[in-house]
Amino acid sequence: MNGSKLSWVEKYKPKTLDEIVGNDAAKKDFIDWLQRWDRRGKAAMLHGPPGVGKTVLVEVAASTLGYRLIETNASDTRREDYLENVIKPAAFNRSLFSSRLMIFFDEIDGISREDSGALNFILELIESSRVPIVMAANDPWSPNLFRIRDKVYMIPMHRIRVQSIVKRLRDICRNEGVRCKQEVLMLIAERSEGDMRAAIEDLELLYSSREDMDLEEAEKILSYRNVEKNIFETLRMVAFAPTLEKALTSLSSSEEKPEDILEWVFENIPHVLPKQSLYRSLRYVAGADALFKQISKNSLWRILPCFYHKLASAFLVAPQKNRASFSFPTRMRERFKRFQHEKNLRELESFFMKDLHMGRSAFRRDLIPLLRLLSKNEDFRRSMLNRMVDQHLKELYSSVILGEARKRFS
């Protein structure tokens, strides 16, 4: 996908409370708490699995009720200067601001026991703040949160139902103008395990090329799901690690191939770091790339820890990180698409080569351009599809020939 375009997760991010799928009870409870926050406690914690809408609920509720939202993540929360110079004035000097404020601590369970200063600051904030304090956590029962947990209003959020995810995915397909089979949408929804963000990412991976897809093809392409979940967690731990040693441990313990980790880091680091830090960070990434080429070429695997050291250092050039969703690398995504297109093309070739007694090179050089040109005619398209008894073959023809025809002539 072109880097200048929004991902589908961002493009279809809810803008109103009604657009947030699932967790209706949590939405109602949170809005009710906000409207009466001073009487129901000064802080609330939304908690639940990734991708259920915790962060987006806070953002949409703030916009709906007219709050100016000050967001922090685990990296910001560890910084004493940020807490003292940004959060404290906002919490205790509401009159200095022209609009109502809400302070949001995202990824609060990312705080470790070593961050005692930040924990004490938050506890004081909960007692004395003049504005609502909201937190989000995947794991609210982390031992690190036991002092905070007793002082906040807990609002659970649950995994989104499969049918609700399917309906949302179908709406996106309709808006994008792509054909999507019900069984493929069900596969995506079931594999997401109630994570709407993951489901939309999978949908984009399968359908952003505007090609139709059957269940078997979708299953093969989505076989990366467990790999992706693991690498997302690795990236999150590396990006927000408090020390180089912890970042290095997270990277070097990953089961992913070093070259794949390099792709993930290169693609995602611009979303995590502020622009002024990117030059220094990408120099580390470039150094890791050059080093890995030498390692691979000369079998110098004993110095692989140096490769991980450079990648980990790339995240630590800036103390403050942006809160961002990690995305599947564009180059890896394009390789998936090329592999799938080549597979479809070979299957279609087998049918025509047998029927017309022609070779593969002649089919690609001569027949495919001719079929695409003739496919502009509706009668020709209909006659070609009628000749194909097998439904899978019709889908291949639609994908390889008609799909290309639509791109070229629409």
Task: Give me the CATH number covering residue 177.
Answer: 1.10.8.60
Same domain, 146 and 209: no
CATH of residue 133: 3.40.50.300
Q: What is the pTM of this model?
A: 0.60
Q: Note the pLDDT tens digit of each residue in 300-310.
A: 888 888 998 99
Lowest mean pLDDT among 13-17, 61-65, 73-77, 379-383: 73-77
Domain end, chosen from 133, 156, 179, is at: 156
Q: What distance in Å separates the CA atoms of residue 410 and residue 392, rounded to the nearest whole number?
A: 24
- Would the pLDDT of 80 be above 80? no
Q: What is the pLDDT of residue 146?
A: 81
Residue 69 within any structural domain of the chain: yes
- Would the pLDDT of 402 be above 80? no
Same domain, 112 and 54: yes
Winning range, highest mean pLDDT, from 180-194, 308-322, 347-361: 180-194
Q: What is the pLDDT of residue 406?
A: 40
Split at pLDDT 50, 70, 90, the class of 325 is: low
Residue 187 within any structural domain of the chain: yes
Q: Give the Cα-Cα-Cα angle 391, 393, 399 (nearest 5 degrees).
A: 105
Residue 397 within any structural domain of the chain: yes
Which residues are 134's β-sheet partners?
A: 44, 104
DSSP type of residue 7: P
Same domain, 188 and 241: no
Same domain, 336 and 361: yes
Residue 10 within any structural domain of the chain: no
The strand ranges marked E within 125-217 are: 133-137, 153-156
Q: What is the pLDDT of residue 233?
A: 76
Same domain, 69 and 52: yes
Domain that holds residue 337: 332-409
Residue 325 within any structural domain of the chain: no
Q: Note the pLDDT tens digit of each residue in 178-221.
A: 888 888 899 999 888 888 988 898 888 787 655 667 777 777 77
Residue 211, number of CB atoms within 10 A of its CB:
22
Torsions phi, psi of 153, nearest 5? -85, 115
Same domain, 220 and 337: no
Give the three-state DSSP class for 357: coil
Q: What is the pLDDT of residue 334?
A: 74
Same domain, 288 and 196: no
Residue 237 within any structural domain of the chain: yes
Torsions phi, psi of 208, nearest 5? -65, -15
Beta strand pairing status for 153-156 and 100-105? Answer: unpaired
Same domain, 135 and 96: yes
**Please, what is the average pLDDT of the chain?**
79
Same domain, 43 and 100: yes
- Number of domains present in the structure of the chain: 4
Same domain, 91 and 179: no
**Terminal C-alpha separation, the chain:** 20
* 200-204: Cβ within 8 A, 24+ apart: 200/8, 200/9, 200/12, 200/168, 200/169, 200/172, 201/7, 201/8, 201/9, 201/327, 201/328, 203/8, 203/169, 203/172, 203/173, 204/1, 204/7, 204/8, 204/9
Domain end, chosen from 156, 177, 208, is at: 156
Higher-scoring residue by pLDDT: 353, 48: 48
Same domain, 41 and 130: yes
Sign of the four-CA dihedral 390, 393, 395, 401: negative
Residue 402 within any structural domain of the chain: yes
Average pLDDT over residues 319-345: 71
Same domain, 232 and 218: no
Tell me the H-state helices in 240-367: 244-252, 258-272, 275-298, 304-315, 330-356, 360-362
Residue 209 within any structural domain of the chain: yes
Split at pLDDT 50, 70, 90, the class of 27 is: very high
